A and B are shown apart, each in its own frame.
Chain A
Amino acid sequence: AQSVTQLDSQVPVFEEAPVELRCNYSSSVSVYLFWYVQYPNQGLQLLLKYLSGSTLVKGINGFEAEFNKSQTSFHLRKPSVHISDTAEYFCAVTAIKAAGNKLTFGGGTRVLVKP
């Protein structure tokens, strides 16, 4: 079984400042890792994913994340946020060799970008 912990439930940040959202996971098997964003009253949209290869992953809208296997972390960063980045962000994992594709999500981090 897998579990995901997002260490901050809310992160206020000023426009054009950097932001980091922390994600730690636990799993007895190897996993793929994802970050999703949920804008108000919308579904989830994939920001980026780590499947293999370089541990630094670049996604859409200027976001990037770094996979750290020894620390079982997958933190999300953006060097300069915009008002439009106000949303809830979810870290998720799925077991690599499972028969299905069950995503296990963290509790989410609400990002509020202030002008």
Chain B
Amino acid sequence: DSGVTQTPKHLITATGQRVTLRCSPRSGDLSVYWYQQSLDQGLQFLIQYYNGEERAKGNILERFSAQQFPDLHSELNLSSLELGDSALYFCASSTLAGSYNEQFFGPGTRLTVL
């Protein structure tokens, strides 16, 4: 158990809908990351937050948005869902924001878009 929690574990929804994925980092970690794992694209970095501020951005679609709240938990919002958004979404956390900080991964949320 990494100490990173993600809810829900599974999510099934229809095209065009909007969903919210939630992540609670390890106690004391200030940085949160979101990754998408799909058969087509593999594991891809989406976005990083550090203490409530966006720190780095990957190939995150405009339909996707994220935020980190004052209590340091994070939410990833996915809207106008398409079949291709079906994937495993991982959250990770680290103590600080720099590249030497080990990232601890949660168990993931499996999103299925029908």
- Which A residues contact B (CB, under 8 angstroms)? 32, 36, 42-46, 49, 51, 90, 94-108
| Distance between A69 CB and nearest chain B CB, rounded to angstroms | 17
Given contacts A99-B55, A105-B42, contact A45 B2 (CB under 8 A): yes
Residue of A nearest to B42 (CB): A107
CA distance A96 to B101 in the complex (A): 11
Indicate with 1 or 0, residue by residue over B52-91, a CB within 8 angstroms of chain A CB atoms: 0001101000000000000000000000000000000010
B55 touches A90 (CB 8 A): no
Q: Are A43 and B108 in contact (CB under 8 A)?
A: yes
State whether B43 touches A101 (Cβ < 8 A): no
Which residue of the partner chain B has the closest CB to A51? B100
Closest-CB distance, A52 to chain B (whole angstroms):
9
B residues less than 8 Å from A51 (CB atoms) = 100
Q: How far is the CA of A101 from the CA of B107 in the complex (A)?
A: 20
**Total contacting residues, chain B, CB less than 8 A:** 29
With A43-B90, A108-B42 as given contacts, are A101 and B33 in contact (CB-CB < 8 Å)?
yes
Instruction: Give the CA-CA distance A46 to B100 in the complex, in Å.
Output: 13
Q: Which of A97, A101, A103, A106 contacts B97 (CB 8 A)?
A: A101
Question: Which one of A45, A96, A102 lies within 8 Å of B56 (CB-CB)?
Answer: A102
Give chain A nearest CB distance to B34 CB in angstroms. Answer: 11
- B4 → A minimal CB distance (Å): 8
Given the known interface contacts A99-B55, A101-B31, A102-B58, the answer about A32 and B108 at a Cβ–Cβ threshold of 8 Å is no
Chain A residues near B24 (CB-CB < 8 A): none
A residues near B99, Cβ cutoff 8 Å: 32, 94-98, 100-101
